[in-house]
Amino acid sequence: MYETHFHKLKIKDLGIDSYGENIIFLKADSGVCISEGFTALTRVIVHKDNKRIIATINVVNSDIIANGEAGLSSEAMNRLVVRNGDEILISHLHPIESLSKVRAKVYGKELNESSYHEIIKDVVAGHYSNIEISAFVSACAGDNMTVNEIISLTKAMIAVGKKIKWPKSLILDKHCVGGLPGNRTTPIVVSIVAAAGLIIPKTSSRAITSPAGTADTMETMAPVNLSIDKIQKVVSEHGGCIAWGGAVMLSPADDLLIAVERALDIDSSGQMVASVLSKKVAAGSTHVVIDIPVGPTAKVRTHEEALKLQYYFKAVSEAIGIYVEVIITEGIQPVGRGIGPSLEAMDVLSVLQNKIDAPADLKERAITLSAALLVLSGKFAAGTELKAAQILLENGSAYEKFKSICIAQGGFKEPGLAKFRFDVIAENNGEVRAIDNRKLARIAKLAGAPKQPCAGVFFNAPVGKKIKKGDLLFSIYAELEAELEYAVKYFNSLNDLIDIR
Amino acid sequence: MYETHFHKLKIKDLGIDSYGENIIFLKADSGVCISEGFTALTRVIVHKDNKRIIATINVVNSDIIANGEAGLSSEAMNRLVVRNGDEILISHLHPIESLSKVRAKVYGKELNESSYHEIIKDVVAGHYSNIEISAFVSACAGDNMTVNEIISLTKAMIAVGKKIKWPKSLILDKHCVGGLPGNRTTPIVVSIVAAAGLIIPKTSSRAITSPAGTADTMETMAPVNLSIDKIQKVVSEHGGCIAWGGAVMLSPADDLLIAVERALDIDSSGQMVASVLSKKVAAGSTHVVIDIPVGPTAKVRTHEEALKLQYYFKAVSEAIGIYVEVIITEGIQPVGRGIGPSLEAMDVLSVLQNKIDAPADLKERAITLSAALLVLSGKFAAGTELKAAQILLENGSAYEKFKSICIAQGGFKEPGLAKFRFDVIAENNGEVRAIDNRKLARIAKLAGAPKQPCAGVFFNAPVGKKIKKGDLLFSIYAELEAELEYAVKYFNSLNDLIDIR
């Protein structure tokens, strides 16, 4: 076959992070650019010994790189395993075969399983530019995938990831589709289920767009950055863990797709189902309960949408050979009282410690989900599971289990409260009719959550609560005065956060 | 309304060209990144005095920028009108409203005219990242737009561009949808039509993926980089011009969309029609002939596809108030004998000069298109136009006109031939049955066209020609020996370029 010309260049480490994308920075007047006619957005193959990556050219007109040098984005340097001063070769890129499948999908055609395998393999290898990933994500957005395509995508994502192996055959897991501030049931559910003698190795995510992810919340009480070995050790000793999934790179395809999906703010039922289930398979889970909160400001807004997701989860999990139970729950308001890592951890602890003022909604949700897992395990008869879960929580077994897990993960500590506070007081009497979850989450984020783990919102006005003028509606906590001002300024610009009439 | 926090930074000119996209390079450990939680792919507003642009963050971990500094891509620096050392402010980006319309289109909804106006306005203002443009382009790809949407997109693209004004009310123009190497009718058509006393101010493009654009070909004979003033002067004196459209930025939206479309290698009938017609309106044209060559290796491959494009061109041109005549032509092989700027210019000159060996196909195509314009002008009765065009060409009027136009554009020169040549000789007797236009174009490109204007292919084996062993099939011309080797190596790797049986 026809072999292209190679250009030899020396790596200059520019330290530029292009978020997953391979970028090569070449001097405009370099021999490469002139003789090859390379321009910006052109893609080339970069070689180092036997390794090769594909990178998008950014043309440089300044002296940050010299003639005979090439810069690479950090991700590209890692993928190619090169360092400052290393020699690389550049050659023309022949068309990437799987992109013709992406184009077919863009034109509205249904793709088969091998097409999804080819596409995902190339995405993970870094062969796609973000522009190309964007075309793929857009073509698969909304309801643009058939169930067969979702199954294919899920299988393809599983194929390129790791898989944690367990000595037992029954591995439980839970997942919440998200969108409800403060919905931090995971640490409680893991504790109850592990206390029941079952195995639940939970890997959770950090916040992406929300004020706290489960991993952020858990980190205010114990280390979550565990290796796979450590996860296996903690689980073998205690039956459960609550670790940060990002540390173990279970679904590398998902990370790259989600980055672009988030940048576009595009939802895709198919990609969401594939993302969740591929991670569950990677974690070695066999039986999974999925919580879909539904509400006007939650992620899933209508019951119909929730039913459709339920169908997808069921159909895909059957195809890939795991058991999934979907629970559709009410999602009209924040769960518990805290919004932000530390404030949510306090809610978790008060439920586990059976405090009198523990948030009843968080407790009830945790029991419901735990009970579903107990039934799914086949070790508890249907009808007995709710009572069983409640007992394990209320007799202190779950709390004991939680403390053991925390210690095994590296030590327990109490979550803290941020220095600065601003109280929002009711100006009128009435009843709370509705809450805008998204705006409340925004306030917590502006106050510093999740970067400042002790920042956030303490929420005291659930729907249905009778409010008297002067009552505390919520408090904003921040570590820095500027951030508190920030959040308060935003709050003052709103007039529809809490509907009290 | 709620106002965000501002960060003051000093511009460091990194000279990085990200091809139209606004990128801001911020130090990972800078105050901005830490306090705002900015990460890669996050978008921010960059302010300078009263100007603002939106840019995507690339995080930098090296010393190419210092704390308190920010780098901007070249395009962003131009848009914001800043220089090295200038002070800028950075603030949070509120959601871009029109992106919700892009998402709706991604989800399969039809958009109305005001949505297209909003989107295109934001694209031209640089408010979209390339990832976002990619989502828009993908959602509109293939046949995903209704005729009403194509009309809306065309109007939106017209609204953000310039428009050249003419003192006359009848302004002719021509356009070829492309894909046929050597199809360089434009200089001949302009000359014939202007010689008929009509007005045809032609702006052409440079090659994007082909071995030569009309502007590249024309530039081997006369300057094409004309200002709008200069175009108006040349046309007022001689009735026509052949200028490079890129120099006058007639359709800024088109340039940005096409860059991403090309990177994705995605075709979109709707975007193509909008692109062509918006540029025609911008050029002030009122009557346009559009040439759609159809053939298995041309851009449009089937007659059905050509008919659909014809319908779109008709419907949209009526909606925006210009007259369009579509001519569907045969596109099974290269036109003329030259492929590459200078070699094509030689074909053009030999037709204009009525040389005995002038390529008959190029001449015939030029007469057909010219005749269509003569009829469309209303100044020639139907039935007389072919003869009229032929006479204007054959009596030397068109050549005289061409020379006047060249001189008015800055002076005529003869196109040259490249130094190195490689002849491809027939190994067997037979008749030419088929030619792969795309591979032939590739050979011309590898030989250096269009960067080396005198490089390319001289093609001597049209379909139907009887070939004897030892006959010259084609010659490859290159300015550099290495480029000739390159092209020959590629040719040697092929076995299906010309089908002789």
- In B, which residues are within 8 Å of A141 by CB distance? 103, 106-107
> Are residue A190 and residue A246 in the same domain, yes or no?
yes
List the CATH number of the domain containing B450: 3.90.1170.30
- Please provide the DSSP assignment of B72-125 as one string: E-HHHHHHHT--TT-EEEEEEPPPPTTHHHHHHHHTTPPP-HHHHHHHHHHHHT
| pLDDT tens per residue across span A93-109 | 767 889 999 999 999 99
How far is A103 from chain B, CA to nearest CA, in Å?
A: 7
> Are residue A50 and residue A81 in the same domain, yes or no?
yes
> Are residue B289 and residue B381 in the same domain, yes or no?
yes
- In B, which residues are within 8 Å of A131 by CB distance? 130-131, 133-134, 260, 263-264
**Are B16 and A264 in contact (CB < 8 Å)?**
no
**Are A106 and B266 in contact (CB < 8 Å)?**
yes
Question: Is A431 inside a domain boundary?
Answer: yes
> Are residue B115 and residue B155 in the same domain, yes or no?
yes
- In B, which residues are within 8 Å of A99 by CB distance? 264-265
Please give the pLDDT value at position A295. Answer: 87
Please state, rounded to an integer, the average pLDDT across all residues of chain B: 90
Single residue among A76, A92, A108 that ends a domain in this structure:
A92
**Are A130 and B130 in contact (CB < 8 Å)?**
yes
Burial of B173 (0-12, 13-18, 19+ CB in 10 A): buried
**Are A134 and B134 in contact (CB < 8 Å)?**
yes
Domain that includes residue A128, residue range? 98-158
How far is B490 from chain A, CA to nearest CA, in Å?
A: 6
Question: Is B369 inside a domain boundary?
Answer: yes
Spatial separation of the C-alpha atoms in residues A24 and A11, rounded to whole Å: 10
Please give the pLDDT value at position A38. Answer: 59
- In A, which residues are within 8 Å of B265 by CB distance? 95, 99, 103
**Are B2 and A131 in contact (CB < 8 Å)?**
no
Question: Is A186 inside a domain boundary?
Answer: yes
Instruction: Nearest chain B residue to A132 by CA: give it.
Output: B264
> Are residue B389 and residue B429 in the same domain, yes or no?
no
| A86, A267, A436, A471: the active-site residue | A267
> Are residue B183 and residue B148 in the same domain, yes or no?
no
Q: Can you state the angle between helices A341-352 and A397-409, rounded to 10 degrees?
A: 140
What would the two tokens of residue B290 be?
């559009």
How far is B483 from chain A, CA to nearest CA, in Å?
A: 9
Helix (DSSP H) and strand (DSSP E) numbers for chain A = 18, 19
Q: Which of B15, B40, B107 is nearest residue A19 as measured by Cβ atoms?
A: B40
Question: Is B334 inside a domain boundary?
Answer: yes
Question: Is B2 inside a domain boundary?
Answer: no
Alpha helices in B125-225 (DSSP H): 130-139, 147-159, 186-195, 214-219
| B13, B255, B267, B471: the active-site residue | B267
> Are residue A195 and residue A334 in the same domain, yes or no?
yes
> Are residue A471 and residue A338 in the same domain, yes or no?
no
State the best of B4, B6, B12, B14 to mutate against chain A, taking most chain A CBs within 10 Å.
Answer: B14
| pLDDT tens per residue across span B34-71 | 555 555 567 888 999 888 888 888 888 888 888 889 99
φ, ψ dihedrals at B472, nearest 5°? -75, 120
- In A, which residues are within 8 Å of B5 by CB distance? 482, 486
Single residue among B366, B381, B409 that ends a domain in this structure:
B409
**Are A137 and B135 in contact (CB < 8 Å)?**
yes
- In A, which residues are within 8 Å of B260 by CB distance? 131
Cβ atoms of A405 and A190 closer than 8 Å: yes
Helix (H, G, I), strand (E, B) or coil at A280: helix
Count of structural domains within chain B: 4
Question: Is A465 inside a domain boundary?
Answer: yes
Question: Is B164 inside a domain boundary?
Answer: no
Phi-psi region of A70 (alpha: psi -120 to 50; beta: other; left: phi over 0): beta
Please give the pLDDT value at position B367. Answer: 97
Which residues are paired to B2 by β-bridges? none
Spatial separation of the C-alpha atoms in residues A200 and A170, rounded to whole Å: 9
Please give the pLDDT value at position B1. Answer: 34
Residues of chain A with pLDDT under 50: 1-3
In what order do the strands lie in the sheet containing A466-467?
A466-467, A430-435, A498-500
Helix (H, G, I), strand (E, B) or coil at A178: coil
Spatial separation of the C-alpha atoms in residues A23 and B497, rounded to whole Å: 35
What would the two tokens of residue B203 be?
């702006």
pTM exceeding 0.90: no
> Are residue A227 and residue A271 in the same domain, yes or no?
yes
Please give the pLDDT value at position B494. Answer: 86
Q: Which of B40, B260, B451 is nearest residue A131 as measured by Cβ atoms?
A: B260
Which residues are paired to B477 by β-bridges? B421, B456
**Are A74 and B61 in contact (CB < 8 Å)?**
yes
**Are A482 and B16 in contact (CB < 8 Å)?**
no
Query: For residue B54, which of B38, B64, B40, B42 has the smallest C-alpha distance?
Result: B42
Neighbours of B426 (CB within 10 A): 18
List the CATH number of the domain containing B367: 3.40.1030.10
Cβ atoms of B86 and B48 closer than 8 Å: yes
**Are A141 and B106 in contact (CB < 8 Å)?**
yes
Please give the pLDDT value at position B210. Answer: 81
Please give the pLDDT value at position A404. Answer: 98
The verdict on whether B267 is a catalytic residue reads yes
Instruction: Nearest chain A residue to B107 by CA: give it.
Output: A142
How far is A28 from chain B, CA to nearest CA, in Å?
A: 9
Q: Taking chain B (501 residues) in consecutive chunks of 10 residues, what is each chunk's mean pLDDT?
A: 66 84 83 60 83 86 87 90 91 82 95 97 88 95 94 96 89 88 91 98 85 94 95 96 85 85 85 93 95 86 94 97 94 88 97 95 96 95 95 98 98 96 95 88 89 93 92 95 87 89 90
How far is A1 from chain B, CA to nearest CA, in Å?
A: 6
How far is A83 from chain B, CA to nearest CA, in Å?
A: 13
List the CATH number of the domain containing B32: 2.40.40.20
**Are B1 and A28 in contact (CB < 8 Å)?**
no
DSSP summary character for residue B212: -
Query: For residue B459, which of B423, B500, B433, B416 has the smallest C-alpha distance?
Result: B423
> Are residue A102 and residue A82 in the same domain, yes or no?
no
Cβ atoms of A151 and A283 closer than 8 Å: no
> Are residue B332 and residue B443 in the same domain, yes or no?
no
- In B, which residues are within 8 Å of A60 by CB distance? 14-17
Single residue among A409, A435, A463 that ends a domain in this structure:
A409
Please give the pLDDT value at position A331. Answer: 84
What would the two tokens of residue A50 be?
């036997």
Q: What is the ipTM of this complex?
A: 0.79
List the CATH number of the domain containing A122: 1.20.970.10
> Are residue B337 and residue B310 in the same domain, yes or no?
yes
Question: Is B357 inside a domain boundary?
Answer: yes
